[in-house]
Chain A
């Protein structure tokens, strides 16, 4: 069955209508994975009645922090043994002064890996219909959905009755 990707826009103050529109799409048998919401400001999934989304950013963060911790431990406790310079009365690998380096490198690992996580997730292929419209950054809420070609006009008209602005498929851009 041939399917089309369509996009409708709601103004920033039409959040209630937008959530109703998503509900309507569900009633028409369009599954969650065939719907994408794009907006100019963040809305929680609950507001739009969408399933909870998932991100691996915290996992990237923890992994980065661990890498930082390991590197710091190597610097603190391994490097003095590579070329020992023993000073009378002083330990070769003191713990209090090592805490500073451990803290800084752990935090550095955490923070850099979060950026890397954001970049990796941004450039990774995502699920759901793709498309974009510059009006989104003007505060519009966009609903992108994939539906059977035979019913897409009818669906769009139904959403238009709810206050949606229908975007011509040719205007739907790929960023």
Chain B
């Protein structure tokens, strides 16, 4: 057998080191520093560049919001809830499905920004704001649904902690009031969490703009100069927020799941609904971040510098882990219900898998389990943005199907066979659902030109703390803590 002997050290070693460092720079944003003024300029250029196509999309989505959301909702208010498809036995239809979907999406910002910040995952830096924006706008879209679903929207204030003429207060033991409080808390706290790290970037925008933009940035940046005291204050505030918002995030989707789990409905009364919903929310939220990052990277100027394949790779791994965790919870829930052998539950599970709407159940499993497991183990796929875009879009289709299975498909098949029914959403309901999607896109499009989508100071801080350190014969990246 021929053995090829290679020298342990070649004259090409130095050259190899340089190539290695060069490759690492190309790969990792944190190892590829750029002067701050150039980065600022890139982000500002991206904000100021509005093509004709952008305005067409913005106006198009704006009109869609008016027609699909407010038009259809107004029609429903004028004509009553009868124009929706919800009727006995299914009183929670696509409005509640979409409500849960948007609340789920909103978990992305907190997860990506707060949890990855707490664990000092450096790759998070360039896209935390994009994710935080998703949280705020996702919640804004989701928070409309309790009002829409209410029907008589003009009495929504009955939910607000406010007594009536007899000093009768809302019942704080009701999960619907918990929902109201949890969503309000999460919406306010995630908006503040979006705002705090934005201050230094708003000051940067203030220094580079004139006219109305300058006036707005000046007010919003609260006179930010970047003094030691200001940075300390910001660090402390972000630090407390990053820890405090995590349990709030967990509480929101747990409480949403309790809307279902505290009832006597077959298929809903489960003690693991809280964590099951949270895992699903994080799976759909992180997937939605990837979808948005792909769109931002492809449509906004200079964003290919900030958003790189390494970010899709990192998020892809998280999606794979959460897909596995989701499958674990799903199976746990499924097998115990099936093993229990309760007749109504057994029939419900059979209906999900073999009934006329079984395709929704299979769609859920294919999109949430089969697709991520089949593709996301592959590094090459995780690093290909357009494939990740398709996969993450499908994951969210799967998560929508999951909520559809849990809500109307379950409600339509309860204990009494005489009360079984099939729910079909009407055009009014579908319009409203599409309308909130358009609202989300419209708000995001608008924000992309009003606030810096990349936290430039955080990127620079990360780049300053990353260096190459020589270990043995090669140079490896190392991180220093500047704070």
Q: Which residues of A contact B (CB under 8 A)?
A: 12, 36-45, 47-48, 50, 53-55, 57-58, 61, 75-76, 79-80, 82-83, 85, 94, 97-98, 100-101, 103-105, 107-108, 110-112, 114-115, 117-119, 121-123, 126, 128, 132, 134, 136-139, 142, 175
Given contacts A53-B228, A55-B236, A83-B167, contact A137 B223 (CB under 8 A): no
Q: CB distance A39 to B178 under 8 Å? A: no
Tell me if B36 counts as interface (CB < 8 A to partner A).
yes
Q: CB distance B233 to A115 under 8 Å? A: no
Q: CB distance B173 to A55 under 8 Å? A: no
Most buried by B among A47, A137, A139: A137
Q: CB distance A119 to B222 under 8 Å? A: yes
Q: CB distance A44 to B483 under 8 Å? A: yes
Q: CB distance A137 to B200 under 8 Å? A: yes
Q: CB distance A76 to B40 under 8 Å? A: no
Measured CA separation A104–B240 after assembly (Å): 16
Interchain nearest-CB distance for A16 vs B (Å)? 13
Measured CA separation A134–B228 after assembly (Å): 16
Q: CB distance B460 to A94 under 8 Å? A: no
Measured CA separation A5–B188 after assembly (Å): 41
Measured CA separation A94–B94 after assembly (Å): 33
Q: CB distance B483 to A79 under 8 Å? A: no
Given contacts A41-B457, A119-B222, A132-B225, contact A111 B163 (CB under 8 A): no
Given contacts A12-B36, A50-B228, contact A42 B240 (CB under 8 A): no
Q: Which A-B residue pairs are the 6 nearest by beta carbons?
A: A139-B36, A79-B169, A134-B207, A137-B204, A138-B37, A42-B231
Q: CB distance A104 to B232 under 8 Å? A: no
Q: CB-CB < 8 A to B36: which residues of A?
A: 12, 40, 137-139
Interchain nearest-CB distance for A109 vs B (Å)? 10
Q: CB distance B192 to A115 under 8 Å? A: yes
Interface SS of chain B: helix
Question: Can you list 11 A-B pairs with a CB-CB distance of less than 8 A?
Answer: A36-B227, A38-B226, A41-B460, A41-B464, A57-B237, A82-B163, A83-B163, A104-B248, A111-B244, A118-B222, A122-B230
Interchain nearest-CB distance for B52 vs A (Å)? 31
Measured CA separation A97–B170 after assembly (Å): 14
Tell me if B224 counts as interface (CB < 8 A to partner A).
yes
Q: CB distance A53 to B232 under 8 Å? A: yes
Q: CB-CB < 8 A to B240: which residues of A?
A: 57-58, 61, 110, 114
Question: Which segment, of B179-187, B275-283, B341-349, B355-363, faces chain A?
Answer: B179-187
Closest to A52 in B: B232
Q: CB-CB < 8 A to B230: which residues of A?
A: 122
Q: CB-CB < 8 A to A142: which residues of B?
A: 226
Q: CB-CB < 8 A to B233: which residues of A?
A: 55, 57, 117-118, 121-122
Tell me if B241 counts as interface (CB < 8 A to partner A).
yes
Q: CB distance A139 to B460 under 8 Å? A: yes
Chain B contact residues (Cβ within 8 angstroms of A): what range? 35 or more
Interchain nearest-CB distance for B179 vs A (Å)? 10
Q: CB distance B173 to A104 under 8 Å? A: no
Interchain nearest-CB distance for A28 vs B (Å)? 20
Which one, A37, A47, A85, A117, contacts B227 given CB within 8 A? A37
Most buried by B among A76, A107, A117: A107
Measured CA separation A137–B353 after assembly (Å): 58
Given contacts A47-B482, A111-B245, contact A101 B222 (CB under 8 A): no
Which one, A47, A98, A114, A139, contacts B241 given CB within 8 A? A114
Q: CB distance A128 to B182 under 8 Å? A: no
Given contacts A123-B223, A175-B225, contact A100 B255 (CB under 8 A): yes
Measured CA separation A134–B169 after assembly (Å): 53
Q: CB distance B188 to A117 under 8 Å? A: no
Measured CA separation A136–B224 after assembly (Å): 11
Q: CB distance A107 to B244 under 8 Å? A: yes
Measured CA separation A50–B227 after assembly (Å): 12
Tell me if B63 counts as interface (CB < 8 A to partner A).
no
Interchain nearest-CB distance for A121 vs B (Å)? 6
Measured CA separation A141–B26 after assembly (Å): 28
Given contacts A118-B196, A137-B204, contact A104 B222 (CB under 8 A): no
Q: CB distance B172 to A137 under 8 Å? A: no
Q: What 12 additional pairs, Cβ within 8 angstroms, besides A43-B482, A53-B229, A118-B233?
A: A38-B226, A41-B460, A48-B228, A55-B232, A58-B240, A83-B163, A94-B173, A103-B247, A112-B192, A132-B225, A139-B460, A175-B225
